[in-house]
Amino acid sequence: MHPMLNIAVKAARRALGRRGERVQGREAASPREVGEQLATMFNDFGNKARPAVEQINHFADLIAYTSRHGAFHGVGEVMAGVSESIGSIKAAGIGPEDMLAMVQGYAAIGMRGTQAGTAITEALQAFAHGKLQSKLGVALATFHNGSL
């Protein structure tokens, strides 16, 4: 196992419990599956100048909090939304905390998993192409680098 993945799996076990997350007696997400996503989040959002362990632990805590306190059936739905939208979110300059808040917001209105991730991606693309600005009649504030 790659050392980064090993760190991520340990963080997933710590955040979700030793055996992973169980929903209605069935395993909803294994530490390895969540660990793979944590490694991806670190590659996309991590600061390579800081220790990886503390950052991955932070990402694991964010995911655990979101799955437990949001309108989700388990961490698998959170991770599906993240997987589907992470590219667009990263391109828009949005951080991991706001990304998970967006996934949680869509879950609150009944869009979970990949459906939420697809909706986030489409909304961000509409912002980028100016479609929503023209409908709303206002310009969006962006940073100098173009991120939202």
Tokens of 76: 């698998």
Beta-sheet strands, E only, within the chain: 21-23, 26-29
Whole-number Cα distances in Å, 148 to 20, 28, 46, 52, 126: 35, 33, 19, 26, 12
Is the predicted pLDDT of residue 29 greater than 70, yes or no?
no
Q: What is the mean pLDDT of residues 32-57?
A: 88
pTM, full prediction: 0.75
Is the predicted pLDDT of residue 117 greater than 90, yes or no?
yes
Half-sphere exposure of 139 (CA within 13 A, CB side): 4
How wide is the angle at C-alpha 115 spanned by C-alphas 36 and 44, nearest 5°? 35
What pLDDT is recorded for position 99? 92
How far is residue 29's CA from residue 22's CA, in Å, rounded to a whole number? 7
Q: Are 74 and 21 in contact (CB under 8 A)?
A: yes
Is the predicted pLDDT of residue 24 greater than 70, yes or no?
no
Percent of the chain at pLDDT > 70 equals: 75
How far is residue 96's CA from residue 45's CA, in Å, rounded to a whole number? 7
Q: Cβ of 7: how many Cβ atoms within 10 Å?
A: 21
